[in-house]
Amino acid sequence: MSARGPSRRYESVRQDWRAILPEAKAAFFENHTKELENTYLMLSISLDEAIAFRRCGQTAKAFQAIGVVPELSALLACRMSAVLHSMRQQARHFGVVPNLAPLDIANFRTDLGLRSARLSSLLSHVLLSERSQFLHKLSTLEHIVRELTDSFIESAERLAEGQTLNPSLSWQVLDRCHFDLNTCLRETVVLLKSLLLVLPEDHMAGLDFTIRGLAPTRPDHRSAAPIIEARRIGAAARK
C-alpha cells in the first residue's frame, strides 16, 4: 500500500523550518519536540552541574552528580530514536519523503560523528533517489545516537564509580558525545517538521502511535541499547 503526501510547497529545509504548520500538525510537532527538548534539558543541566563541581575542585560531588546522567541519556536516546525510526517507517512503507540536506561535518566533534557526516555528504551525490537519501540519513542518525549513548553511559558510569584510570579523558568523552547528541537532536527536530509538511493528515495518528510505542517513559539505562537494537530504533535548518 502506498500513499502520496502533499506536494512540496517549499524547495529547501531552510524554507521548511520557517514555514507555518497547520494547527493539528503544529500541535503534533510541539508535543513530540517538547518531550525531546525537556529530556535533553534535564541531561544538560545534570552534566553541567557535574562539570561545575569538577572545575571547582569538588571531585566527589562531581562524581555523585554524574550518577544520574546514564538514565537521562538513555531516555533521550530512546525518545530520539523512536522519532527517527517512525519517520523511516513512513518513508519506507508510504513513500513520504521531505526536503533534506546532508549532515554537516562542522556540527560534530566525535570521530563517529565526523565519519558519518563525511559519508553523508558523499552519498548525497551518489544515491540517486531522494527516498534512498532520506532513509540513509535517518539510519545514520539512529546509529550515531545508539553508539554515542553507549559511550556516554560507559564514561559516566566509570566516573561515578571511580573506575576510570584517566578521568580527564572520560570528561572529554562526555563533552564530545553531549555535543554530537545535541546535533542529532537538532537534526531530528528539523527532519520531523519537514516530514510533517508533506505527511498526509490521515498518517499522523499512525506516526504518533509508533513514536509513543517505541519510546518508554523511563528506560533502564542498562537495557537501553538492547531495546534500541532489538526494535531497530537507533539535515538541518542551517542548510
User: pLDDT of 52-61, one tens digit each?
Assistant: 999 999 988 9
pLDDT score of 237 more than 80:
no
For residue 30 the three cell numbers come to: 510541539
9 in a structural domain: no
Better pLDDT: 227 or 204: 204
206 in a structural domain: yes
Sequential DSSP letters for 8-22: PS-SSHHHHHHSPPP
48 in a structural domain: yes
For residue 214, CA distances in Å to 187, 207, 227 come to 19, 11, 9
195 in a structural domain: yes
122 in a structural domain: yes
146 in a structural domain: yes
**Among candidates 74, 20, 117, which has minimal Cα distance to 225?**
74
At 218 the pLDDT is 52
Q: Could you give the number of structural domains in the chain? A: 1
pLDDT score of 224 more than 60:
no
pLDDT score of 223 more than 90:
no
d(CA 99, CA 11): 7
pLDDT score of 171 more than 80:
yes
53 in a structural domain: yes
Are the C-beta atoms of 155 and 69 separated by less than 8 Å?
no
| Domain of residue 65, residue span | 20-231
